Amino acid sequence: MVTRYGIASVEGMAAGTAVLLAKGASPEEGAPGAGGGMTLDEAFEAEKKKFEAFSREGSGETAGIFAAHLEILEDPMLRETIEGRLADGLSPVDAVRAASDELAAMFAEIDDEYLRARADDVRDICRGLSDRLSGGRSNTLDNLPEDAVIVAEELFPSDTAEMDFGKVRAFVTRKGSVTSHVSIIARSKGIPALLGVDIDGIGTGDRLLVDGNTRQLTVGPDEGAEKAFFAKMKQLAESDEEDVPLRPAGTPVAVFGNAGSLEDITVAIEAGAEGIGLFRTEFVFMNASYFPTEEEQFAIYREAVRRCNGKPLIIRALDIGGDKALPYLNLPPEENPFLGMRGVRLCLKHPEGFRLQVRAILRAGAFGPVRMMIPMVAKEGELEDVLRLVKVCTEELEREGVAHDPTLQVGIMVETPAAVLMAPELARKAAFFSIGTNDLTQYTMAADRGNPGVAPLYNPMDPAVKRAIEMTVVAGREAGIPVGICGEMASTAEGRRVLASLGVDSVSLSSPRQISKLKQK
């Protein structure tokens, strides 16, 4: 019996039989048995049809994921990057692989965890193109046992598209992200998932026990371990039947959605979200080779407002760090971008660019309820500088006779210990608080959530994190401003019990399935 640890992408418990997903290398272009690979145009068209079919045939959440894949596939940046590598003399297959590495690296360097995980989507898309060009074909997941635990180096959404989820009990991978689309699919299906696991030595047919609650994988359990495991499963199932809503009495907690694209907004609203509690704007800047103009940003934010159908939209200011994710900003590399020039620090360092975003958000507010949220605030002075800029931009638009929201509410993400300690002072200036539990946990515990070695430390239920949340809620309540939770904390019964005891005003979730579930409580 061997015990290993990982990062819980999706909590829960499952026992089953290992199915090792080994990706075979695609044949080289023109190699014997390559099956007469397609041209680049044919490969793009075939992948387009595939993702259209996956989007059309999938459930609401899965459909949205493959719709996002389709957006990346049709983004001129992908085709232009591939053609640039072709111009360098690479073969079509090698050009696709080089473009995949280049674009995935660009996403992977972003501070925002959700957008960083889009690197997986780029690799998934380019892998499909490469297979089309070479005539190669990845292994499939046919003939699964009834209790399959899928074990792989990494999984991509395309791997799951035709998977028989009636037979899948859990995912275990060496690589991956808690915000990857595969993790989102696992959450939508209620399948436990462990990432960052040492899978060496695990073979198809091995007996596995997956405990997402303790981040533990047991390989080849003995009889005693099996008995204790199933006893715990039974106890948790009985506990879930006695689950409590977010607030047992009084005003119900609002359930919002998180969105990193326009398509995400549509999916969240259709799932029943009462608004968008976090609209990440980084995609607007990443899809451009220059700093987007005010008009370009305004068009996207206005469309986001339209898709909310009159429900509130909280737009987060640009949250990209100093790691050259945006080449046109000429940012120097940093040893630790998580503690560097990111969030509000970067915005204030580039006031002219930030001014364009603020004006675009103010103008979008003329078309529906819009609020602006400032990330990574650690000092009162940072919020004061933002509020002064908003005032200046408001006065400019007023003089120009341009429609805008003159009463735009500006709030902050509470995700640094400094913001928690200064919460009473910040609450007197902010219109609302949104607690970013992911980063707050990471910074409070000094534990990288993507590092399996410190996985036991990264725990939103740790007393230190719960105390930080409570301090923030109390400060907001005393100042009379709403306090929300931005993260997946409300997606577990334990997290809901903690939040119910604290009395938060709203939660914002990435999973449409969880949104629908909480709306029914």
How far apart CA 268 and CA 275 sit, in angstroms, is 8
How far apart CA 43 and CA 131 sit, in angstroms, is 9
* Distance from the Cα of residue 382 to its chain's centroid: 26
| Structure-token pair, residue 335 | 């040893």
User: Given a cut of 50, is residue 33 above it in pLDDT?
Assistant: no
């609450």: which residue's tokens? Answer: 427
How far apart CA 434 and CA 112 sit, in angstroms, is 16
Does residue 413 contact residue 434 with C-beta atoms inside 8 Å?
A: yes
How far apart CA 363 and CA 394 sit, in angstroms, is 9
pLDDT in the model for residue 222: 93
Does residue 286 contact residue 115 with C-beta atoms inside 8 Å?
A: yes
Instruction: List the domain boundaries for the chain.
Output: 2-23+139-222, 40-134, 254-519
Residue 73 Cα distances to 43, 46, 51, 80, 321, angstroms? 11, 11, 9, 11, 26
pLDDT band at 113 (very low <50, low <70, confident <90, very high): low
pLDDT in the model for residue 452: 67
pLDDT in the model for residue 179: 65
Residue 231 Cα distances to 218, 225, 234, 419, angstroms? 15, 10, 5, 42
| Structure-token pair, residue 194 | 């462990």
Statement: the pTM of the whole predicted model exceeds 0.75: no
- Tell me the pLDDT tens digit for each residue of 118-139: 788 899 999 899 989 988 655 5
At residue 111's C-alpha, the angle toward residues 107 and 113, to 5°, is 75
How far apart CA 496 and CA 298 sit, in angstroms, is 36
pLDDT in the model for residue 324: 41
Quick one: fold of 254-519? Answer: TIM Barrel (3.20.20)
Residues tagged active-site: 181, 486
Mean pLDDT of 194-206: 92
At how many degrees (to 10) do helices 512-519 and 181-189 cross?
Answer: 30
User: Given a cut of 50, is residue 115 above it in pLDDT?
Assistant: yes
Indicate the residue type of 186.
A
How far apart CA 351 and CA 342 sit, in angstroms, is 14
Fold agreement between 2-23+139-222 and 254-519:
no
- Neighbouring-strand partners of residue 257: 276, 509
How far apart CA 76 and CA 80 sit, in angstroms, is 6
Calculate what percentage of the chain has a pLDDT beyond 70: 88
pLDDT band at 106 (very low <50, low <70, confident <90, very high): confident
How far apart CA 446 and CA 375 sit, in angstroms, is 19
The SS3 of residue 315 is strand
pLDDT in the model for residue 35: 40
pLDDT in the model for residue 288: 78
Q: Are strands 207-211 and 193-195 parallel, antiparallel or unpaired?
A: unpaired
Give backbone dihedrals phi and psi of 482, rounded to 5 degrees, phi first: -70, 145
What does the mean pLDDT of the chain come to?
86
Does residue 212 contact residue 219 with C-beta atoms inside 8 Å?
A: no
Q: Which of 69-73, 112-116, 407-411 has the lowest mean pLDDT?
A: 112-116
Residue 50 Cα distances to 59, 93, 498, angstroms? 16, 19, 43
How far apart CA 514 and CA 512 sit, in angstroms, is 5
How far apart CA 165 and CA 347 sit, in angstroms, is 44
- Tell me the pLDDT tens digit for each residue of 77-99: 899 999 999 999 999 999 999 99
Does residue 257 contact residue 276 with C-beta atoms inside 8 Å?
A: yes
User: Given a cut of 50, is residue 508 above it in pLDDT?
Assistant: yes
pLDDT in the model for residue 30: 38
Instruction: Give the CA-trace dihedral at 264, 267, 268, 269, to 10 degrees.
Output: 120
* Distance from the Cα of residue 216 to its chain's centroid: 23
At how many degrees (to 10) do helices 76-87 and 40-57 cross?
Answer: 160
Residue 103 Cα distances to 79, 182, 344, 417, 507, angstroms? 11, 19, 25, 33, 32
How far apart CA 395 and CA 387 sit, in angstroms, is 12
User: Given a cut of 90, is residue 45 above it in pLDDT?
Assistant: yes
pLDDT band at 27 (very low <50, low <70, confident <90, very high): very low
Indicate the residue type of 291.
F
- The CATH number of the structural domain formed by 2-23+139-222 is 3.50.30.10
* Residue 498 or 221, more confident: 221
The SS3 of residue 188 is helix
- Neighbouring-strand partners of residue 433: 412, 483
How far apart CA 455 and CA 145 sit, in angstroms, is 30
Quick one: fold of 40-134? Answer: Enzyme I; Chain A, domain 2 (1.10.274)
- Neighbouring-strand partners of residue 418: none
Sort 350 into a burial class: Cβ within 10 Å, 0-12 / 13-18 / 19+. middle
How far apart CA 153 and CA 148 sit, in angstroms, is 16
pLDDT in the model for residue 60: 57
């400094």: which residue's tokens? Answer: 418
| Structure-token pair, residue 82 | 């591939």
Does residue 471 contact residue 500 with C-beta atoms inside 8 Å?
A: no
Going by C-beta distance under 8 Å and a sequence separation of 6 or more, which residues neighbour residue 10? Answer: 171, 183, 186, 187, 190, 191, 192, 193, 212
